[in-house]
Structure formats: structure tokens, C-alpha cells
């Protein structure tokens, strides 16, 4: 009885082993390929099998891809349930495209998820990209129009010869990118957009500030700076800037954190409060020569020449040992106040004491002096 039971178990094991197929080359030697592109915090991934123009037996199919190997329109392939199937936009299993977040395709909304990607070609008119809720079939033999999530029409373009069917991304910008299929002499593209991309960044920032990243004051400062740079979420950005300064155990009152808070206040139109913060920041013992100098230059850039001049003079008072940057600041300050005599005097002192790491800019500094003397 025990021998019979052992024999039966062995037979079952052999059957199970037969059901597990060995790894073999892909059908038609159409190798699998994957490409992922990030658009801001959103990812787009295309999985496909890539045929070549010359075919699995080396036959040259140049000039016989579009309209022949890939028939125009919707066709009955003679197998499966579909009587009007588009091209699978690749080979073998469904080509799939996965969006981590909601997107737009050619301006039309599409929810996050994985879709079967099909393409209906046309001899003369536009071609149609189809995003199907069916992403798990083999080819398009079981394509059902009722499962379409979205269709968009595009115009195919002539392209340099491409042996292997290839997907790629181009024209990449902070909130958009162009996905394309290129094969033989055609390129067929569609534009992907990520709506409200800054909102996605903000959601991620909020999540991360509640995690390990929130134990570093610099991350709170960076969060506030994101709001400033993109002119979004400024009220919350102000709370993040304040957290960088005063959050218990991790906050630091230093020039950079105070500058960040002042910049948020300015973006909110609270200029008087911002100036009060910066008056404190430039007098901190930790404020470096370059910190103060750059602040003075930023004031000059927005036309506040008198205030900038005061900052340059303060920098010289606070850092008497500096023989270059503080004099450059004074030279620029006097220049903006139309005091050429003192501007020339301070440029000459600065150039005389130019440090090694600034000698590459010597010609520029000499040019500034020459303009004044001219």
C-alpha cells in the first residue's frame, strides 16, 4: 500500500512538472522590451515585444510592413472572437501601458492603471491609438471595442529607418512628454500630460515630511522653497518655513532658513515682515560674507539700490578681514549710487586682493573698473 501511494505521488509530481514550461526564446524571436519615463512624480511604463523588419527567418520585409504585415484598419484575423481587430502595436502578448497617476492623452482624460495598447492604421487618414481595459490577452484576437477606455487620433510621421520596433519618449517637459512607436519608416506619437503636477509633488512632500525626512530641518526648508519657486501653496509653505526654524529639536535659526521664510512672506505680499526677518538674518554670527553679499545683489536686482548699499556696508563692517567680496559689494553699491570715485577705489582694492579661485573672472572685474574709468 505504501509503495502504491508513493508511486501515485510520483505520477502527480511528474504531471505537475510537465505543466511548468521551461524558459524558451520568445515566439518569432520578438524580444520583450520595457521602457519607463517619469513625468514629474508620475511614471509611464510601456511593455512590448519587439519584431524586426527582416523577420525571424531573415527575410527582408522593407516596404511590406504598413498595409501588409500590419494591415490597415480593423480586420478579421481568422481566429478568436474579434471580427474587427486593430494591430497589437507590437508582437506576441498585448502591448501594455501603465500610468501611475491620472493623465491626459492628446488632451483627453485617462485614469491611472494598466491598459492594452492597440493601434488602428489607415492608408490615407489619421491613425488611432486605442487604450483598452483588456491588458492580459495574446495579441488582438479577442479585442472588444466595448472594453475601450480611450481612443485618440494622430497623424503618422515619416521617420528614419528603424529595424526593431521601438517605443520611446521625447519632448519631455515638467508636466508632459511625447510617447512614440517607431518602426521601419514610420513614427506614431501621442502626447501625455500629467494634470496638476505640482499638486502631486505637494502630496508627496506632505507624506515625506511625516516620515524620516521630517526629522531634517533642511527638508522643511526645501518644501517651502518648492512653494516659492512654483508660486503655489504659499500659506502652507510659510508654516513649513517656520518649522525649519523653530520645530522642536530639529529647527535651526540660520541665514538660509530665515531667508526662506522671508521669501515666502514676500511671495505673499508681506514685504514689511520679510524685511524684518532679513534684517535679523544678515546680523546672525553664522551669516557668511557670501550670504550677505548675495542678499545685497538680490536687492539690487529688484531695484532696491539704497537698501542694497546698506547691506554691502554692513557686510564690510561685520567682516573686516575679508579683502575681496566686501569690497566688490561696496564697488557695486557705490556704482548704483552714481559715486564713481568711490566705486573705482573699491574695485581697485578688490582686484588687488583677488583670491586664487576668482582669478578666472579677473578680466570681467577689470572690465567693470574700465567702464567706470572710461
Based on the domain organization, do 72 and 51 belong to the same domain? yes
SS3 (DSSP) at 363: helix
> Is 143 in contact with 118 (CB distance < 8 Å)?
yes
What pLDDT sits at residue 19?
55
5, part of any domain:
no
Based on the domain organization, do 134 and 269 belong to the same domain? no
Based on the domain organization, do 187 and 200 belong to the same domain? no
Report pLDDT digits (tens) over 262-314.
999 999 999 999 999 999 999 998 899 999 999 999 999 999 999 999 999 99
Angle between helices 271-281 and 255-267 (to 10 degrees): 170
Q: What is the DSSP letter of 66?
A: B
Report pLDDT digits (tens) over 72-96.
999 999 999 999 999 999 999 999 9
Report pLDDT digits (tens) over 30-47.
889 999 999 999 999 999
Which of 193, 209, 238 is where one domain is finished? 193
Average pLDDT of the residues in 327-349: 95
39, part of any domain:
yes
Based on the domain organization, do 330 and 244 belong to the same domain? no
Which of 252, 287, 322 is where one domain is finished? 287
Based on the domain organization, do 201 and 189 belong to the same domain? no
297, part of any domain:
no
**Percent of the chain surpassing pLDDT 70:** 95
Confidence of residue 10 (pLDDT cuts 50, 70, 90): very low
What pLDDT sits at residue 15?
46
What pLDDT sits at residue 374?
82
121, part of any domain:
yes
Residue 21 makes CB contacts below 8 A (sequence gap 6+) with none
Per the structure, how many domains does the chain have? Answer: 3
Based on the domain organization, do 67 and 102 belong to the same domain? yes
Average pLDDT of the residues in 337-349: 95
Cell numbers standing for residue 120: 488602428
Question: Given a cut of 70, is residue 16 above it in pLDDT?
Answer: no
12, part of any domain:
no
Residue 226 makes CB contacts below 8 A (sequence gap 6+) with 201, 202, 205, 237
Half-sphere exposure of 347 (CA within 13 A, CB side): 23
What pLDDT sits at residue 31?
87
Report pLDDT digits (tens) over 103-156.
999 999 999 999 999 999 999 999 999 999 999 999 999 999 999 999 999 999
Which of 253, 287, 321 is where one domain is finished? 287
Domain that holds residue 351: 304-374
What pLDDT sits at residue 55?
84
Integer Cα distance of 84 and 331 in angstroms? 77
Based on the domain organization, do 59 and 138 belong to the same domain? yes
Amino acid at each position: 500500500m505504501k509503495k502504491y501511494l508513493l508511486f501515485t505521488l510520483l505520477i502527480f509530481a511528474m504531471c505537475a512538472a510537465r505543466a511548468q514550461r521551461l524558459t524558451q526564446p520568445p515566439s518569432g524571436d520578438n524580444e520583450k522590451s520595457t521602457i519607463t519615463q517619469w513625468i514629474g512624480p508620475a511614471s509611464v511604463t510601456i511593455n512590448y515585444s519587439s519584431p524586426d523588419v527582416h523577420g525571424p527567418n531573415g527575410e527582408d520585409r522593407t516596404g511590406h510592413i504598413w498595409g501588409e504585415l500590419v494591415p490597415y484598419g480593423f480586420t478579421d484575423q481568422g481566429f478568436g472572437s474579434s471580427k474587427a481587430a486593430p494591430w497589437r502595436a507590437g508582437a506576441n502578448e498585448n502591448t501594455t501601458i501603465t500610468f501611475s497617476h491620472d493623465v491626459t492623452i492628446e488632451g483627453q482624460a485617462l485614469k491611472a492603471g494598466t491598459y492594452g495598447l492597440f493601434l488602428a492604421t489607415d492608408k490615407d487618414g489619421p491613425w488611432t491609438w486605442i487604450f483598452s481595459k483588456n491588458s492580459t490577452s495574446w495579441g488582438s484576437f479577442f479585442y472588444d471595442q466595448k472594453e475601450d477606455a480611450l481612443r485618440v487620433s494622430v497623424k503618422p510621421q515619416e521617420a528614419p529607418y528603424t529595424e526593431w520596433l521601438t517605443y520611446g519618449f521625447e519632448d519631455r517637459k515638467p508636466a508632459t512628454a511625447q510617447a512614440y512607436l517607431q518602426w521601419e519608416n514610420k513614427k506614431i506619437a501621442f502626447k501625455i500630460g500629467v494634470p496638476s503636477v505640482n499638486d502631486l509633488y505637494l502630496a508627496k512632500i506632505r507624506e515625506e515630511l511625516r516620515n524620516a525626512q521630517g526629522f531634517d530641518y533642511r527638508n522643511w526648508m526645501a518644501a517651502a522653497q518648492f512653494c516659492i519657486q512654483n508660486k503655489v501653496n504659499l500659506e502652507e509653505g510659510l508654516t513649513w518655513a517656520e518649522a525649519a526654524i523653530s520645530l522642536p529639536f530639529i529647527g535651526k535659526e540660520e541665514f538660509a532658513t530665515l531667508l526662506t521664510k522671508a521669501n515666502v512672506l514676500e511671495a505673499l505680499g508681506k514685504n514689511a515682515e520679510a524685511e524684518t526677518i532679513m534684517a535679523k538674518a544678515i546680523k546672525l554670527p553664522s551669516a557668511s560674507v557670501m550670504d550677505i553679499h548675495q542678499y545685497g545683489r538680490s536687492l539690487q536686482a529688484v531695484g532696491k539700490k539704497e537698501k542694497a548699499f546698506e547691506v554691502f556696508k554692513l557686510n564690510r563692517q561685520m567682516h573686516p578681514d575679508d579683502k575681496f567680496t566686501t569690497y566688490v559689494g561696496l564697488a557695486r553699491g557705490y556704482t548704483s549710487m552714481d559715486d564713481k570715485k568711490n566705486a573705482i577705489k573699491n574695485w581697485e582694492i578688490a582686484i588687488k586682493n583677488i583670491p586664487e579661485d576668482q582669478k578666472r573672472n579677473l578680466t570681467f572685474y577689470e572690465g567693470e573698473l574700465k567702464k567706470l574709468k572710461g
